[in-house]
Amino acid sequence: CHLIHYLRLSHHLIVLNYLICTFDKLKSVSSEDINITDAVFDGVEVRVFEPPAKRDERLKRSVVYIHGGGWALASARTSLYNNLCRIMAESLNAVVVSVEYRLVPEVCFPEQFHDALRATKHFLQPDVLAKYSVDPSRIAISGDSAGGNLAAAVCQQLSKDEHLTIRPKLQALIYPVLQAFDFNTPSYQQNMNMPVLPRYVMINYWIDYFNGNYDLAHSLLINNHTALDVGQALSFRGRLNWTSLLPSSFKKNYKPVIQTTGKAEIIQEIPALLDVRAVPLLAENETLQLQPKTYILTCENDVLRDDGVMYAKRLENAGVEVTLDHFDDCFHGCMIFTIWPTDFSAGVQTRNSYIKWLDENL
């Protein structure tokens, strides 16, 4: 893919996603116990997983799920996410709506956010919930990685929408990516070369999401975009002070990387770096106070560990009930790897813990 990108034969993400989908063809659409259908919610494709109706059953609970993949890869239709959502529907006896938002490079920020928001708001309409026999008071919004980013951003937006009569009861975020302010948090430093998601790959995902220039990657890596002389970043600095938001067991002996002189033109070129729709961790306290009961799963071997831990702390400080579910021996992306030949114990462990929390709280 790097060769293809260099030769400009096609966008490397298009090729990579093609390869992923080519090796991941589903043999069947519906399972024996779950009815799986594709639909369109306000112009956005979704895949709906419905358990069979039972005699004299009350309305079902529901989960809106947003898949990960750096806003650029994977699909609600791939076997990994198809399997996760099917198991969720079976285990919770819940209607699961998996959002098929458009990907980079077809679209860039804020279109992925808009797709996820439109699909979710459409599903929250009383007549749509009635069609799927969903209890309006028992709906969660969830996602992993970049999908966790979108879930958090959508949840924040819904909480501020005065016209909504139905809002999610819960949000459940799986190793979410929540900020592009500081690429030198302890987890970014500790796991900078960790397989699956090294730091430079995460930075490139951000650049692709914002349709930015790869030449900026090194400046972002050393935090030139949020240096002390970058005025646009000043008001956000207190919202992402990991020296006060992280426990000492995570801070270890790592030191903050704060440049005295940086490049303000980076923020001018990519203002989305400070847009809370893209970086939910930078939201103001007034917005965080409106968030529902929250579950955040983090993994030790993950550059994004501290994003989730800091968001949990900020939500807790804002008065939100939060469960931080941390796994010392797991890695980024592990929860979807439960199908042979990538059936890892870490995937089963994290998935079971996540579903258990939903079952007890939704």
In angstroms, the CA 213 to CA 265 distance is 12
* Amino acid occupying residue 165: T
DSSP secondary-structure letter at 97?
E
Spatial contact of 309 and 250, defined as CB atoms under 8 Å apart: yes
| Three-state DSSP string of 1-66 | CHHHHHHCCCCHHHHHHHHHHHCCCCCCCCCCCCEEEEEEECCEEEEEEECCCCCCCCCEEEEEEE
Q: Which listed residue (67, 114, 225, 332) is catalytic?
A: 332
Q: Is 332 known to be catalytic?
A: yes
Whole-number Å distance between alpha carbons of 204 and 225: 15
Residue from 144, 302, 307, 325 carrying the catalytic annotation: 302
Task: Measure CA 243 to chain center.
Answer: 24
Residue 115 annotated to the active site: no
Catalytically annotated residue among 75, 98, 142, 145 = 145
Note if 218 is an active site residue: no
Residues 6+ apart with CB under 8 A from 213: 207, 269
Active site amino acids: 145, 302, 332
